[in-house]
Structure 1
Amino acid sequence: MEALRAVQILNPSGEIVMPRPDHPRVICVANQKGGVGKTTTTVNLAVALALHGNRVLVVDLDPQGNASTGLNVPHHAGVPDVYDCLIDNVPLAEVAQGVEGIPNLFCVPATIDLAGAEIELVSVVARESRLARAIAGHPEKFDYVFIDCPPSLGLLTVNALCAAQEVLIPIQCEYYALEGLNQLINNINLVRQHLNPTLDVSTILLTMYDRRTRLADAVEQDVRNHFGAKVLNAVIPRNVRVSEAPSYGQSVMTYDPGSRGATSYFEAALEIAMRGVNTGGTA
């Protein structure tokens, strides 16, 4: 079974195809709480969609650069990165790098320079829409653009919310995870009212689910009652392989494609792809 799952996920023959949306879907992966699986979710969904026939761009907007690490894209000081696009108007196409071994996947890395971008953006004209303009100016069309946000609600996250049509919120199945959620939803509503009227919280993904605990079950019920159909049926379990993969510069999809973590992310990616097609492009 594990070998079968691995073949399905790695898709070496290219036979298994996830449906492509009729227009590019720009999805911002946001949650101001750290350690809930934003980067892991961004990297693994992007790889899963790219392995199954979609063209995907990952924009790493977190100064820690973890998404760049997870995709094994160079992001040391001096590498052209998303900071250059935001501050110096460098075209996104000049900064995006192809991800090794995955032909349809590209990544715009983040270096430590991005840490100062929050302050530098304050005095810039149209500071909230710099990323939106950079993505719109890319000559190639992608099926999916995933923006990995920092764990805060500053100007970088606002840029991501202005550039996106959809927000995907990963929620850790623990009590504190629900605490900051109201604040995040309020901020998304503010951005929708003043800057980006098309923004929609389209997808909620439950991560780090430990089925041995009652708490995980209670959090899942709370989230499903509150958000209804926005919550994906696929749930990401706590899985050692998911945690190990970044240290090898890989997603769990390529590191251990037969693992439960890889299977769960594959199911989540398929669900996101199907929802996009069924509702005319937005989930």
Structure 2
Amino acid sequence: MTKPFGLPVALTLVLFLIAFAASALEVKSTNGQAMDVEVLGYTKSSGNLRIKRLSDGMIFNTKIEIFDDASRAAIEKAAPVMMPDLKVEVSVGKRRARIGDSSYMKKQEITTTLKISNGSRDIDLGRSKFTVLLMGRSTSRFANRDADAGKVLAKESFEQSIPAGKMVEFESKPVMTEFDSDFDASNIGGWEYDGYVLIIQDAEGKIVDSKSNIGPVQTETLKDPEKVKKALELQKDTIVDRALNRLNRSF
């Protein structure tokens, strides 16, 4: 006898039991009551726990503290890893000044503050590495369309955990750049601030999220995991196109 999908009943039963065993976890409360559960979610910062009792399928929202020490350790290990909803707010301060007596060459100081909020109520972000690239764009493009390129003005990293509902703030070191402010065919070049790229890695170094406010990076680079990996390898002063692909050109 076979199932409608073509699998023998015995094989179907074996697969079901394997899946059940993988998700089933025996836990005991602090007063010794035992039950088999599936851990649906756990928030370490608050102790909030969501479990399904396997005997009847009932779901409970409770606190991990009601279980004994061994069960707590097992629950933490079995809890599914989920990515919280991160919101990034970037404020950029740009101060410009003339270079000498020049009416067109400008010196620009860029200061960037990132506020990263965990918008999830029940998902902590464990300790993660945040890498920030501040990108410049060549002003030579106004005189020559083929000269449109980007440059890594700065690269900084920091490590931080963000509990559910909390926020962290990071301020980059000031970056100095110079460019021709006559945006016409007479432009002799330089680099003006273009935007940021933020790449987040978990404790094992796996890339778990990435964000940017640069159009081609949003529409092309961040949609390709391999391109995000290559972007993470970029160093200060590297010349790239606006999608962060390396260019073998000098400016």
TM-score range, shorter chain: under 0.3
Higher relative helix content: 1
Which one has more relative contact order, counting CA pairs under 8 Å at least 6 apart? Answer: 1
Larger strand percent:
2
Report the TM-score, using the length of structure 1 for normalisation: 0.22
